[in-house]
Amino acid sequence: MASQKIAILSVWDKTGLLDLAKGLEKHGVRLLASGGTAKMLRESNFAVEDISAITKAPEMLAGRVKTLHPAVHAGILARNQESDEKDLADQKIDKVDYVICNLYPFQSTVAKIGVTIPEAVEEIDIGGVTLIRAAAKNHARVTIVSDVEDYPSFLNELDDNNGSVSEPVRQKFALKAFEHTADYDTAISGFFRSRWASDGVQQVSLRYGTNPHQKPAAAYVSGGNLPFKVLCGSPGYVNLLDALNSWPLVKELSAALDYPAAASFKHVSPAGAAIGVPLNDVERKVYMVDDIAGIETSGLAQAYARARGADRMSSFGDMIALSHEVDTPTAKIISREVSDGVIAPGYTAEALEILRKKKGGKYLVLQMDPEYDPPATETRSVFGITLSQHRNDAQISPQSSFSTTITPKDASLPDPAVRDLTVATIALKFTQSNSVCYALNGQIIGLGAGQQSRIHCTRLAGDKADNWFMRFHERALNLKWKKGTKRPDKSNAIDMLCSGVIPKSGIEKEDYEKNFEEVPTPFTAEEREAWLSELKGVAVSSDAFFPFIDNVFRAARSGVKYIAAPTGSQNDQACFDTAEQLGIIFVEQPLRLFHH
Q: Which residues are catalytic?
A: 137, 267
CA distances 306 to 2, 302, 403, 555, Å, are 80, 6, 27, 21
Beta carbons of 496 and 519 less than 8 angstroms apart: no
Q: Can you spell out the DSSP letters for 515-532?
A: TEEEPPPPPPHHHHHHHH
Torsion angles phi and psi, residue 153, rounded to 5: -70, -35
Give the bridge partners for 101, in sequence order: 10
Distance in angstroms (rounded) separating the CA atoms of residues 78 and 550: 69
Distance in angstroms (rounded) separating the CA atoms of residues 255 and 346: 17
Q: Is the dihedral of CA 421, 424, 430, 436 positive or negative?
A: negative
Going by the DSSP 8-state scheme, the letter that residue 361 receives in this structure is G
Distance in angstroms (rounded) separating the CA atoms of residues 188 and 201: 19
Task: Using only the alpha carbons of the chain, give its radius of gyration.
Answer: 33
Q: How many helices (H) and strands (E) does the chain have?
A: 24, 23
> What is the residue type of 406?
I
**Helices of type H across 104-150:** 106-110, 117-121, 127-137
Number of residues assigned to the chain: 596
Q: Count CA atoms within 13 Å of residue 514 on its CB side.
A: 10
What does the longest C-alpha to C-alpha distance in the chain come to? 103
Residue among 406, 410, 446, 452 at smallest CA distance from 428: 446
CA distances 452 to 24, 427, 457, 458, 594, Å, are 56, 18, 8, 11, 12
> What is the residue type of 64?
R
Beta carbons of 125 and 184 less than 8 angstroms apart: yes
Q: β-pairing, 261-266 with 318-322?
A: antiparallel
Q: How far is CA 481 from the centre of its chain?
A: 42
Distance in angstroms (rounded) separating the CA atoms of residues 265 and 562: 25
Distance in angstroms (rounded) separating the CA atoms of residues 20 and 150: 10
Distance in angstroms (rounded) separating the CA atoms of residues 544 and 452: 12
Torsion angles phi and psi, residue 16, rounded to 5: 75, 5
Q: Can you spell out the DSSP letters for 22-47?
A: HHHHHTTPEEEE-HHHHHHHHHTT--
For 249, the 3-state DSSP assignment is: helix
Query: Buried (b) or exposed (e) across 289-298, using 16+ Cβ within 10 A?
Result: beebeebeeb
Going by the DSSP 8-state scheme, the letter that residue 214 receives in this structure is S
End-to-end CA distance of the chain: 59
Is residue 109 packed enough to be buried (19+ CB in 10 Å), middle (13-18) or exposed (0-12)? middle
Torsion angles phi and psi, residue 286, rounded to 5: -60, -40
